[in-house]
Amino acid sequence: MARGSSKGAGRHAAMAAAALLSGFATPTAAETRQAEDALSALRQRLPQDEVIYFLLPDRFANGDATNDHGGYAADRLKSGFDPADTDFYHGGDLAGVTQQLDYIQGLGATAVWLAPVFKNKPVQSHGGYTGAAHHGYWITDFTAVDPHFGDEAAMRALVEAAHARGMKVYLDIVANHTADVIQYRECPEGRCAYRSRADYPYTRRGGVDGAPINEGFDGRDFSRLTQPDYAYTPYVPAGEENAKVPAWLNDPIHYHNRGDSTFTGESSLDGDFAGLDDLLTEDPVVIQGMIDIFGGWIDKYGIDGFRIDTARHVNPGFWQAFIPAMIARAEAKGIPNFHIFGEVYDPDPAVTARFTRVDGYPAVLDFPFQKQATDVAAGKVGTDGLAKLFDADTIYDKGAETAAILPTFLGNHDMGRVGFFVKQANPNADDAEVLARIKLAHALMMFSRGVPTLYYGDEQGFAGAGGYGNSRQDMWPSRTPVYANETPVGGRQPAYSTDAPLYQAIAEMTRIRAEEPALRRGRQVVRAYGDKPGLFALSRVGEDGSEILALFNTSTAPVAAHVEVEPGSLRWQALRGDCAPESSAPASVAVRVPPLDYLVCKSVP
């Protein structure tokens, strides 16, 4: 059975600890000290010691059916609740996440990353599309929990329950935009073409030939920017004048107001993201406002890290002020290893690395790894793609030190799941081959540098038919036809099964990683690769000189080879698979790896 299958004792211990932390029981001095020591130990863990589990609260577990409509009228276009529609709320909430912490921890995850939990505009329409904010990215109140997910008490209970069992909680945050509230009088249909700074400067109303406004504004002194109608004429519809919290968010002067982004050039920074109100993040009022908002979540709940949405759509100056402020706020709260990583959706490390060098990000989501690891595991390309990727680690700020804390992942809620990518690359493969390749992809992630990040449901074999709505399955028996009709890779299991083949496989990997410090913190050395599917080998070398050799075969035939190792690595112990007991010669070991499989071998004195 997978770790965590004997749930009773762990659940009772966690509930007792959480009760003490929440004040429902009167702790003794020893119990208080024990809880404080445990929390301190959790906060001393480095980011690379974690295995992150990313989930959408709406799709993970429904712990409280009374909040399914979020307190709104029971009309799908009012509350956004329609469990048969991929783009509407399905009922999951924070109470459900708390109830399923055993399941997450049994998989070997040590940190839970929640998609945004802030209060959202429940339903929006833009350009003919109508959907609900089940994903959490259409925020109106940045200071409150969305009522579909619970309330302050539910948020506090989740964090305390996670901390009580040694797990961290990361929040997904947004500083680029808010919900779509502001409209433009020139665009009654809702779609507005982007208007550039050159054609529509801040100092003219309606274009370069327009009447002078914002006189004296030089792009730096934002106290002189008082009129927001330089490109369009923005307004807040009646009844929504106070829709946003904090109150400063309701004033159009704090937004770019230039129309929809094309996601290229200047519009990538200043345009509305599919109609969402794009914040004027150059403005000191916006900078300080966002620092106050998200610093407040650290102060209030003791959050352990932030994943930052749409990082590439915000100017560097904002991040250069915001990120140090968040790190300082966390340190003041006694959180020395606060993990911040930004979403820079690009497979080119030259693009993602820029955000660590220019914008000041400690880390970014490793989209380049996602691309290479899934392509390699799917057999689309040779294993040399991973070698080239790891060679590029030097371009990140602090090089390998930064690469060590990049969250690595195989798929997500926007692009789709690893199972989908493997199936797409191997349309004629049977279930056994697809399962083996998905396991191999997870092994590549679990034993290479970086912070492994699991996407909820992958461990149950969910694959889906693509990205976005097709990759956001319910963990429970779904009423959404496209989810209910899916046959997961490895076969359908009961909800939250710890016997699912991928759950078992991933739990084995996380156990090995947790037991071996070199697999979390060791220096990485790529040992073998080729321009076709086949052998990929890497070593993780610990500070004490110990070596762990991870070997992967991405081909459908067995491979045999000699692989270079450290000269002092002469004898070997198998952590997984069949490893040679001794090196063939100093600095060389013979390896045999079965098709679509992996070995993990540890040097021993």
So which residues are the catalytic ones? 309, 343
Contact yes or no for 225/253 (Cβ under 8 A): yes
Q: Which of 351, 353, 386, 348 is nearest to 368 (CA)?
A: 348
Grouping H, G, I as helix, E, B as strand and the rest as coil, residue 336 is coil
Q: Which of 517, 465, 457 is nearest to 493 (CA)?
A: 457
List of residues 6+ apart from 249 with CB closer than 8 A: 142, 178, 289
Q: Which of 600, 444, 574, 450 is nearest to 522 (CA)?
A: 450
Question: Could you tell me the strand order of the sheet in which 339-342 lies?
Answer: 363-364, 339-342, 305-308, 168-173, 111-114, 52-55, 451-455, 407-409
Q: What is the C-alpha separation between 468 and 345, in angstroms, rounded?
A: 14
> Residue 91, class by beta-carbon neighbours within 10 Å (0-12 exposed, 13-18 middle, 19+ buried)?
buried
Tokens in use for 301? 């709940």
Q: What is the C-alpha separation between 530 and 497, in angstroms, rounded?
A: 38
Q: What is the C-alpha separation between 453 and 50, in angstroms, rounded?
A: 9
Q: What is the C-alpha separation between 36 and 68, in angstroms, rounded?
A: 35
DSSP-assigned letter for residue 393: G
Report the relative pairing of strands 129-132 and 363-364 from DSSP bridges: unpaired
The phi and psi torsions of 158 (rounded to 5 degrees) equal: -65, -50
Strands (E), 309-459: 339-342, 363-364, 407-409, 451-455
Instruction: Give CA separation, 378 vs 24, 282, 419, 512, in Å.
Output: 50, 43, 9, 23
